[in-house]
Chain A
Amino acid sequence: MKSREELEAMARRIRLSIAQMTWQSGLKGAHLGGSMSVTDILAVLYGEILHYDVQNPLSPERDRLILSKAHAAVALYAALHEAGFLSKDDIDHALQGDSPYFEHPKMDPTHGIEFSGGSLGQGLSLGMGTALGLKMKGNTAAKVYVILGDGECDEGQIWEAAAAVPHFGLTNVTVIVDDNGLQFDGRKEDILKAGDPAARWASLGYDVCTVNGHDVEAVRAVLLRETEKPRVIIAKTVKGKGVSFAENDVTWHTGRLTDELYQEAIRDINHD
């Protein structure tokens, strides 16, 4: 098991890559806020939890990760680089020219990207289908992880899939909600109140727990818990975490980094 320091160092490296990719995208910018908020979760997943083999990327036993809040693509690319799926060169060219690694992930399972994404609300359905397929093939090894945004849970399709996963007995599914409290137009509570998210999921038959999404050891602990039901982990996070000028700031849903801001971001991240 990795130590807290190792996982936090990995998260730091992911954050640096996110900042780099955002800066090198130039005027286009990237979805910095929502990528930073999910970083520690991805660090734990790729550092500790997920079973994968870079040499055999399509191994049937691999765990499947679906980033339904796909605009956090740069976080995924950075994590995939840490895992060994993407090279430094891939990161250095991401979000530029005709790089295959642009603002939303494009399906490429040989590099760890299970599905294309970008249209919110669809990932849990994809996860469900995947889990159902695994179950039908008798594959009890592979697990399915779906990362949602809290704003994304406005989408009705999430609740279609949410009802279906426990109904089909898909206990190999773990849903992680990156609950950073902000969406494009502002605070979640101002746009569409989330009500009682834990109660919503629990009412459908999930095992629900809440965790500090930036405490790598706490995140690991909840991910290692064995349950008999499909799981939902509501991870309380901070949008833009790690970059002081972006933290909890709705304007950093998507943003550009000037040279100065990039340097400031690097200092903030390294200082953490």
Chain B
Amino acid sequence: MVDKEIVDVCNASAARMRRCIIDMAFRAGKTETHLGGSLSMTELLAGLYKGIICFRKEDPDWQERDRVILSKGHAAMALYAALAESGIIEEEELEFFKKDGSRLSAHPSLGLPGIEFASGSLGQGLSQGVGVCIALKKMNNRKSRVYVFLGDGECNEGSVWEAAASAAHYGLDNLIAVIDMNGLQYDGSTGTVLNMEPMEQKWQAFGWETVSIDGHNMNEVLEAYMQHHHVPLAILARTVKGKGISFAENSRKYHTASLSSEQYEQAIRELG
């Protein structure tokens, strides 16, 4: 069990992040945003940034930082909210999400502190993570760890499994893949589009250690991050797409959607 105080702090952070995500989505106006997949990973990012990783907000390139790679780049709103929570970027900058010329684009691009790689083309982040981990080992950096966030639908991409095999081959015990298992992708449930279950067995068969958690239970989230492992670790987090907003929860429609004023008001009320 994790210290209750830490769990509470992380949960409070997650709640604030959810509010930020809704605000960003509403301010984007009629242009749609990837609401569902951002809300599903809020606890995962809140727990990581508030409770686990080391970074220096005034020095985002500090060599001994932990690295976070958002391979499922469309969940950028969640990452920006986490960066704002951590003070790596100013909260005011979130108002410029998806505005012309803004650093905060629909998919993360370089130039914003705290972004390791531009993403958006699914299936590439784990390879990048493998490269970083190999580099860290070469530099004898035994402190830094690399966290790669993937979608469950994203695991359809063959390049994910090329990287997975590579990570195990090179014994990258400094690599953690976090799979946001919200069960939905653009065209429907992951089970109906392309069934990848049982995921635990798949990752294990590729030489990874796995841990399965409720991705909205902060205690489980933090315990998973703190787990010791001697091979790369895959955290399979069962989540709810659109978590926190009743009309968006488990809805394929909210993979990408815009919010009306009424919906925004309702969302604010529900978030409390």
Contact = CB atoms under 8 A, between A and B. Distances in A.
Q: Are A and B close enough to touch in the complex, i.e. CB under 8 Å?
A: yes
Interface string B112-150: 000000000001000000000000000000000000000
Contact of B194 (A167, A192, A193): A167
Interface in B187-238: 194-196, 198, 201-202, 204-207
A196 B205 contact: yes
A92 B29 CA distance: 71
B156 A200 contact: no
B31 to A, nearest CB: 31
B194 A164 contact: yes
A75 B196 CA distance: 34
Chain B interface size, under 10 / 10 to 19 / 20 to 34 / 35 or more:
20 to 34
A193 B164 CA distance: 11
Contact of B168 (A155, A195, A203, A204): A195
A164 B159 CA distance: 15
Given A160-B156, A163-B156, A204 B202 contact: yes
A159 B161 contact: yes
A179 to B, nearest CB: 15
Contacts of B156: 160, 163
Interface in A139-167: 154-160, 163-164, 166-167
B205 A154 contact: no
Nearest to B207: A195
A23 B140 CA distance: 50
B157 A156 contact: yes
Contacts of B157: 156, 160
B162 A200 contact: no
B169 interface: yes
Contact of A163 (B162, B165, B168, B196): B196
Nearest to B196: A163
A156 B122 CA distance: 13
A156 B159 contact: yes
A195 B205 contact: yes
Contacts of A167: 194-195
Kindly state the interface size class of chain A when it binds its partner. 20 to 34
Contacts of B251: none
A156 B160 contact: yes
B86 interface: no
B205 A203 contact: yes
A193 B170 CA distance: 9
Interface in B148-196: 156-162, 165-166, 168-169, 194-196
B171 to A, nearest CB: 10
Given A203-B198, A203-B201, A204-B202, A160 B158 contact: yes
Given A156-B157, A159-B158, A167-B194, A195 B165 contact: yes
A158 B164 CA distance: 14
Contacts of B158: 121, 155-160
Contacts of A195: 165, 168, 205-207
Contacts of A196: 205, 207
Contacts of A199: 201, 204-205
A156 B194 CA distance: 15
A199 B203 CA distance: 10
Contact of B206 (A155, A200, A205): A200
A155 B162 contact: yes
A164 B166 CA distance: 22
A154 B196 contact: no
Nearest to A159: B161
A200 B206 CA distance: 7
B103 to A, nearest CB: 32
Interface in A179-227: 192-193, 195-196, 199-200, 202-205
- Across the A-B interface, the 8 shortest Cβ-Cβ residue pairs: A156-B158, A199-B205, A203-B201, A156-B162, A160-B158, A200-B205, A159-B161, A195-B207
Given A196-B205, A203-B202, A205-B195, 20 more contacts: A156-B159, A156-B162, A158-B158, A159-B158, A160-B156, A160-B157, A163-B194, A163-B195, A164-B194, A166-B195, A167-B194, A167-B195, A192-B166, A193-B169, A195-B207, A196-B207, A200-B202, A202-B201, A203-B205, A204-B202
